Each structure stands twice: as structure tokens, then as C-alpha cells.
Structure 1
Amino acid sequence: MEYPGKFERVCSLDEIYDGEAKVFEINRYEVLILNKNGELKAYYARCAHALGLLDETSFDGENRIVCPVHLWEYDAFTGESINPMGSTLFPLDLKVEGNDIFVKIPSVPVSEFKVKWFSMYKRGGVIGEFGFNS
């Protein structure tokens, strides 16, 4: 999904071991990065249900992310909710250059992101007047 932002260095590959997740704050955005068998994923570290903050313990090391606030469960590699179904974590673009992990951090204020982007994000893309698709 396209969203306004720019890539920022978040950490090195050596900082996130297999089966581990970490949360970083970059430009006031919480970013959850997880590693399973060398596959890396990045999400806005807020639950799609009630914006509960996801943390390192939210990732089970295998294939699920569980929000510590209301225990909503998400597939760690698609971001789609498992229990209950019908919502999605907001994926952030990630790239690796050498040993460094870069994540595309939104370039709009966090409050605007939560209202105009995150709150409208659903499986299949953003809906509503903005007309963006994933």
C-alpha cells in the first residue's frame, strides 16, 4: 500500500534474532519489526482494534501477533486478524541494505495518520474518500 513517507534506518540485522520482535520509536511512530527464519516484517505497532501498543512479547516467535490489551490475534506475516476476523495491522514498507534495516516511516503527523490512514485501513486497502488501494 502506498502511503506518504521516507525510509529511515531503524536497526541492524544483528539486533533482531530469529523468532524475535522489537519495537522502535522513529519520528514519534512505534514500529514493530519481526524476524522468522530470516523473513522480516514491519508494522505500525498499534492494534487495529483499539490502538493498543504492540510490544516485543506480542509476537509468539512463530506466526502470531497478539495484542496485550484485548488479546486480538493477527497473522504475523499477512497482518490479517485471526481472532476476531475482519481487520488488519498496518504494514510498513521494509528494505534491507547491507546489514541495515530501513522502514518507510509515514511523513504525516501521527494524529493525522491515525485518523486518515490507520483508522480507515482495512483488508484490501484504504477505503473512503482518499481512494488509495493496496
Structure 2
Amino acid sequence: MTEEGYTKLCRFDELKEGEGRRFMVDETEVAVFKINNVVYALSNICPHQHTALIYDGFIEDEFVVCPAHGWKFNLKTGKQPKGENGLNSFPVIIVNDEVYIKVLKKELKW
């Protein structure tokens, strides 16, 4: 962990454009996406039926769509289009081509 509270996940070039990847950070499931060379990090647990599948969702505009039941979540904020039952979003920084995330202990939004 870095001084600022960020944890190293991987190298930037290890993330595939347009695809999600699953990580475990401090016992928190995280879904990470690289879209147009920007990295986003959200909780990997969908609030609908608590499935750990967000990383396997597909991208539709600025949303990731849960593959289990089709719920959409904003990549930046984790919120649904109408602002209900969202996912936690986590700050991401890139330092020397390394991806770091800051997982804050938050309560689940469901």
C-alpha cells in the first residue's frame, strides 16, 4: 500500500480496453474497467441479487451493464440511471504506468 492509502492493482497495459477485470482489495471485490484509456473501479457486487459479476458486464455508453439481470451502473459514480441502488465507486490513480486504487470502507448501497 502506498502512503496515500492506495493499493497497487496491476500495470496499465495489463488492462484490456473495453473489458472488465476482477480484483480483491482488503476483502472488497472490485471490478476495474479501462474505457478510452481511462480506468474506472466499482464494487463488483450487484445489489440486485448480490452477484459478483459486474466485472463481466458489458459497456453501454458511460454505463456497465450487469450480465445477470441487466441493471446499469455509471462507470464514474456507480449510480444507476435513476440514482437508486448504486455501486460504490473507488478513486483510481496511474503512477509510472501502474494502476492504484483507494478502497474506502463504505457501507453497501442496497
- Per the normalisation by structure 2, the TM-score is 0.78
Using the TM superposition, give the Cα deviation of residue 85 of structure 1 relative to its aligned residue in structure 2, in angstroms: 5.2
Q: Displacement, 1:10?
A: 0.6
How is 1:65-84 mapped onto 2 (pairs within 5 angstroms)? Answer: 65-82=64-81
Gaps of at least 5 residues in structure 1 are: 121-134
> For 1:21 and 1:61, how far apart are their aligned partners in 2?
13
**Could you tell me whether the CA contact under 8 Å between 1:22 and 1:56 is conserved in 2?**
yes
Q: Which has the higher helix share?
A: 1
Q: Given the alignment, which residue of 113, 118, 123 partners 2:108?
A: 118
Q: Secondary structure at the match of 1:24?
A: strand
Count of equivalent residues? 107
Looking at structure 1, the residues matched to 33 and 75 of structure 2 have their Cα atoms a distance apart, in angstroms, of 8
Alpha carbon RMSD of aligned pairs, Å?
2.5
- Conserved 8 A contact 2:46-2:54: no
Q: CA deviation at 1:31?
A: 1.0
Q: 1:12 maps to what in 2?
A: 11
Distance 1:56 1:43 in 2: 9
Gaps of 5+ in 2: none
